[in-house]
A and B are shown apart, each in its own frame.
Chain A
Amino acid sequence: MEGHVAGNLGAAALVLLLAFAAWRVRGSRRGRERFGEIVRRRPWASAVVALYLGVALLDSFAWIDAAAPGTVAAPRSLLDRVFPADFGERSYSAPLADAEFYGGEPLAHPGRHLLGTDILGRDVLHLALGGARVALLIGGVTSLLAIPLAIAFGVAAGYFGRRVDDVVFFVLSTLASIPSLLLLVALVMVLGRGTLQVCVALAITSWVGFCRVVRGETMKLRELDYVQAARALGVSDARILARHVVPNLGHLVVITFVLTFSQLVLSEAILSWLGVGIDGSWGQMIDQARDELARDPVIGWNLGAASAALFGLILAVNRLGDAVRDVLDPRTLRERAG
């Protein structure tokens, strides 16, 4: 399957998931209240996160135009289509400049590159916006891998206890005892480079946190009166899990997801610096641009744009994360946010 087709399908699935979540939230009074409360508490952070999400989705739907004879058409996303097709220069140009940074030759699009261009003459704003999709990809694919597994193992361990719990707890404490960056690096080194490999490695490291939270909460839920009553009445385990346990984990998973998300994106930046990151991420932009600080005059717009885009998302998610935690679960999760 072509890369962009898979991307389109993934993005469509994500949109459906978001629509489903929105429908569920709207459907219940409590959901509406809580959602409203979060947005009321963090209007700016919510808006920023929504903006990043929008840009990422725009960049996720791509298709190939019929190629003119003698040219090769590449898939272009909705985001790419916001920019002119030939929106490039030959090399560096400063933000809004009319001429090339070195040599001073006139630009093809004078004054139109808001954040300048990079060494290959690509528009830095375009590149920085493109990073949003990669960040979403990192958070999304990783969570998609980690959360279902974490729920399966965490619930099993917490609900059935005994041997199952022993095994899961053993695996948990084994993985948790390896310093996370080292674990991540070791995994990526052995699994190989590539988007999926990095996400798998991130999923394994973040699975521990998810699973631990799920396991703990399940243990509490199991002791609740109505669950005990259901068990005494002989309701099957599968039914209890589906009815009473899993639905009550939702808010914890949401909180953990939001709190983990910024860690994932920051970790990818470090992996990028180690040369094993994901193509097009802000981490790679930073890695690529850092040597530009040795130039004189310094070329800062590349590094600045990537750092600011990364910082903006992480800050918004961190701020939002606090509110999500306070609103959804004021009591159980007071541990360190990240």
Chain B
Amino acid sequence: MLAYLLRRLAWGAVTVVGVLLFLFWLFFLYADPQDVARRALGEKAPPEAVAQWLANHGYDKPAVWNPAAPLDTRLADHLRRMLTFDFGKSDADDTPIAARLADGIGPTLSVTVPLLLLGLPLAVSLALLVAFFRETYIDRAGVVLSVLAMSVSILIYILGGQFLLGKVLRWFPISGFDPDPGVVLRFLALPVLVGLVSHLGSDVRFYRAVFLEESNRDYVRTARAKGASDARVMARHVLPNALIPVLTNVSLAIPFLFTGSLLLESFFGIPGLGSITVEAIHANDFATLRVMVYLGALLFVAAQVLTDVAYTLVDPRVRLG
């Protein structure tokens, strides 16, 4: 067990190093720091200002190999910064990235946590409902509706939600955010609603498939043959056994909890990590962008390791190679 745990952790660490190397190649070797500097400083920046800027950001150092000081390279800086979470300054306006992330995490979580807490039970219960009425028109309608819902671009959901619920019906503020407890809920209502609806189609379809597969297994058939009612079979046998794939699906959403949704946050003016990422894109702020990519990957790997370990603890049948 311990050996497995260590092996899993080691593999996770290797993956993270892989991500770091990939980011280094992309942002330091492929992208030219001169370009980055020009974009940050604007067209009229004299060469001295560019040189100064490069020096301030450490982009003037040798990329990988510095015979004079082996640890004074961009690669070493990059690894050190990422691994110690000392992310340095933004390329666009020199603000410390870590401080901005700290500001953004609250608004992001206040959107994504309700999204997850409401979305999971909603999708699971709708999927149970559809699976329960399998082979009836509710099932068929459910499947078609799910595919319909997942074929709509999220852009349309957002624009439609803002236009209809914000502008025409005036149910919610059309956008914005304020952490004041008196109003924060009304700012969150619309983005959470839109987020829920936009994910519902694919989630229901996926969970329905999981439940149907589980209810075709032998033990379920046996239970049914013994005369257990459909509802009872669903609740007692199918649902608990389907939890593993459901939880796997949820664990995939963990990094998203923290990195936020680029589109939702940006359209609804929520100053979270997603907005920070979008702003970094518009401002050509590579430093912030690579931190976001790295954090997303790190959380993903961590969530995977945790779920895998949780499975072995919960279910000894899961054997791992």
Direct contact of A and B (CB under 8 A): yes
The reply on A4 being an interface residue by CB < 8 A is no
Residues of A within 8 A of B213 (CB): 334
Residues of A within 8 A of B23 (CB): 186
Known interface pairs A174-B18, A174-B19, A178-B19; A190-B30 also in contact (CB < 8 Å): yes
Residues of A within 8 A of B30 (CB): 190-191
Q: How many residues of A contact B (CB 8 A)?
A: 44
Residues of A within 8 A of B163 (CB): 293, 298
The reply on A236 being an interface residue by CB < 8 A is no
The reply on A182 being an interface residue by CB < 8 A is yes
The reply on B205 being an interface residue by CB < 8 A is yes
Tell whether, in the assembled complex, residue B296 and residue A178 are in contact, meaning their CB atoms are under 8 Å apart.
yes
Tell whether, in the assembled complex, residue B19 and residue A177 are in contact, meaning their CB atoms are under 8 Å apart.
yes
The reply on A93 being an interface residue by CB < 8 A is no
Tell whether, in the assembled complex, residue A179 and residue B297 are in contact, meaning their CB atoms are under 8 Å apart.
yes
From A22-30, A150-158, A269-277, give the one contacting chain B: A269-277
Tell whether, in the assembled complex, residue B293 and residue A186 are in contact, meaning their CB atoms are under 8 Å apart.
yes
Give min CB distance, B215 to chain A, whole Å.
14
Taken residue by residue from 171 to 185, chain A's Cβ proximity to chain B (1 for < 8 Å, 0 otherwise) reads as 101110111011101
Known interface pairs A189-B289, A273-B263, A311-B153; A177-B15 also in contact (CB < 8 Å): yes
Taken residue by residue from 321 to 338, chain A's Cβ proximity to chain B (1 for < 8 Å, 0 otherwise) reads as 010000000000010111
Tell whether, in the assembled complex, residue B153 and residue A338 are in contact, meaning their CB atoms are under 8 Å apart.
no
Contact of B27 among A183, A190, A315 (CB under 8 A): A190
Residues of B within 8 A of A178 (CB): 19, 22, 293, 296-297, 300
Report the Cα distance A191→B26, complex, angstroms.
9
Report the Cα distance A319→B155, complex, angstroms.
21
Known interface pairs A174-B19, A274-B278; A183-B148 also in contact (CB < 8 Å): no
Report the Cα distance A181→B304, complex, angstroms.
19
Give min CB distance, A150 to chain B, whole Å.
18
- The secondary-structure label for the interface of chain B is helix
Taken residue by residue from 252 to 278, chain A's Cβ proximity to chain B (1 for < 8 Å, 0 otherwise) reads as 000000000010001001100111100
Give min CB distance, A253 to chain B, whole Å.
22
The reply on A310 being an interface residue by CB < 8 A is yes
Contact count band on B? 35 or more
Known interface pairs A174-B22, A178-B300, A336-B202; A266-B259 also in contact (CB < 8 Å): no
Known interface pairs A181-B262, A311-B152; A303-B159 also in contact (CB < 8 Å): yes
Tell whether, in the assembled complex, residue B15 and residue A173 are in contact, meaning their CB atoms are under 8 Å apart.
yes
Give min CB distance, B139 to chain A, whole Å.
14
From B72-80, B218-226, B280-288, give the one contacting chain A: B280-288
In B172-219, the 8 Å CB interface with A consists of 202, 205-206, 209, 213
The reply on B150 being an interface residue by CB < 8 A is yes
Report the Cα distance A303→B249, complex, angstroms.
33
Report the Cα distance A171→B153, complex, angstroms.
30
Report the Cα distance A186→B293, complex, angstroms.
8
Tell whether, in the assembled complex, residue B202 and residue A179 are in contact, meaning their CB atoms are under 8 Å apart.
no
The reply on A307 being an interface residue by CB < 8 A is yes
The reply on A290 being an interface residue by CB < 8 A is yes
The reply on B255 being an interface residue by CB < 8 A is yes
The reply on A170 being an interface residue by CB < 8 A is yes
Tell whether, in the assembled complex, residue B300 and residue A177 are in contact, meaning their CB atoms are under 8 Å apart.
yes
Q: A170-B14, A314-B153 are in contact. List 12 more A-B contacts (CB 8 A).
A: A170-B15, A170-B18, A179-B255, A179-B256, A182-B277, A186-B289, A186-B290, A293-B159, A315-B148, A322-B147, A336-B249, A337-B202
B residues engaging A (CB < 8 A)? 11, 14-16, 18-19, 22-23, 26-27, 30-31, 147-148, 150-156, 159, 162-163, 167, 202, 205-206, 209, 213, 249, 255-256, 259, 262-263, 277-278, 281-282, 284, 286, 289-290, 292-293, 296-297, 300-301, 304
